[in-house]
């Protein structure tokens, strides 16, 4: 990768005996929308804190736009927009007061950079006099993004920006990110929601402080090695137990109201599985071959790491 916007080399960090990041390395191209996908506790926030110059790494190096996160932290903060996982704006200030405040911190004005946030801010501008603490989750999200963008940053860090937000607001937020990307801003976003991985240019799947895979969402799915089936019955809990001991099954995971069953390719005759489940007393049985998604791939990597 030539002249990456973000470069991380062998970064490690621990909290006591807990290894939050374990020798991770990656790069992000300029103008790329790069996603860190993993559950809570995977190390995403620790990584973001290091890249945002809020935390010193114990080992390794990292740079943002060619600037070292330790030596050049003041310069990085001027070109960085950061939206933490927890809403961190001032609850007792109004929408416009929060925006003015953040613009002033970066030595600019709302008027000077209004074009940068116009499309997003126009959705909450009718509520500009409302205190931030009284906003809905989706509106808080939009305000926080406006405050992160008001100084025209070259890079945007978004740490689990859609956690706790309704599904419609989540999709609206990702639409905003896609439009922001068109202005050549490098966007690094973390999320525990596997379905959001498909909206990124590339993703890093992370668990227990280790990166398991970095690739495009399409490549991650295409490399899934198993045959995958969706299996349903009236008793999902007992279904999972019975499938785990069925011959040829590699793994079984609950997925909503169904079980996702992975096996070696062409190793599972559906009619024999149906007979087996019927003999076990299952009712309302449904069996269908399905295509894997990012979550299925993540679970496969977890099993084989």
Where are the CATH 3.40.50.300 domain residues in the chain? Answer: 6-221
Tens-place pLDDT, residues 217-245 = 999 999 999 999 999 999 999 999 999 99
| pLDDT for position 2 | 63
Instruction: Give pTM, 2 decimals.
Output: 0.87
Query: CATH number of the domain at 6-221, please?
Result: 3.40.50.300
Low pLDDT (below 70) residues in the chain: 1-2, 267, 305
Where are the CATH 3.30.70.2070 domain residues in the chain? Answer: 224-304
* 61 CB-near residues (< 8 Å, 6+ apart): 8, 9, 10, 11, 68, 69
Of 199, 206, 148, the C-alpha closest to 177 is 199
| pLDDT for position 60 | 96
**Sheet with strand 210-215: strands edge to edge:** 80-83, 155-159, 186-191, 33-37, 202-207, 210-215
Block residue for tokens 């859609």: 162
| pLDDT for position 19 | 93
Query: CATH number of the domain at 224-304, please?
Result: 3.30.70.2070
Q: Judge residue 28's burial from the number of C-beta atoms within 10 Å of its C-beta, 0-12 exposed, 13-18 middle, 19 or more buried.
A: buried
Q: Give the integer Cα–Cα distance in Å for 181 and 185.
A: 5
DSSP element (H, E) containing 100: helix 95-105
């Amino acid at each position: 990768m030539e002249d990456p916007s973000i470069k991380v080399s062998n970064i490690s960090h621990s909290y006591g005996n807990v290894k939050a990041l374990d020798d991770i390395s990656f790069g992000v191209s300029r103008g790329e929308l790069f996603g860190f996908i993993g559950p809570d506790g995977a190390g995403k926030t620790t990584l973001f804190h290091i890249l945002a110059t809020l935390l010193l790494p114990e080992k390794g190096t990292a740079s943002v736009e060619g600037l070292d996160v330790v030596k050049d932290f003041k310069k990085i903060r001027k070109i960085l927009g950061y939206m933490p996982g927890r809403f961190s704006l001032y609850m007792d200030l109004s929408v416009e007061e929060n925006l003015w405040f953040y613009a002033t911190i970066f030595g600019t004005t709302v008027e000077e950079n209004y074009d940068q946030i116009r499309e997003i801010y126009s959705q909450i501008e009718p509520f500009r006099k409302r205190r931030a603490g009284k906003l809905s989750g989706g509106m808080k999200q939009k305000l926080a993004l406006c405050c992160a963008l008001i100084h025209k940053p070259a890079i945007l860090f978004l740490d689990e920006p859609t956690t706790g937000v309704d599904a419609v607001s989540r999709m609206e937020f990702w639409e905003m990110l896609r439009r922001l990307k068109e202005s050549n801003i490098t966007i690094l976003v973390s999320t525990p929601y596997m379905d959001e991985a498909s909206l990124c240019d590339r993703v890093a799947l992370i668990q227990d402080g280790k990166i398991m895979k970095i690739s495009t969402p399409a490549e991650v799915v295409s490399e899934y090695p198993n045959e995958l089936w969706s299996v349903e019955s009236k008793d999902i809990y007992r279904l999972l137990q019975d499938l785990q001991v069925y011959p040829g099954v590699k793994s079984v995971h609950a997925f909503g109201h169904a079980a996702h069953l992975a096996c070696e390719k062409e190793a599972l005759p559906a009619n024999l599985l149906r007979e087996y489940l019927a003999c076990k007393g299952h009712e309302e049985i449904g069996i269908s071959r399905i295509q894997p998604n990012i979550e299925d791939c993540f679970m496969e990597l977890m099993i084989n790491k």
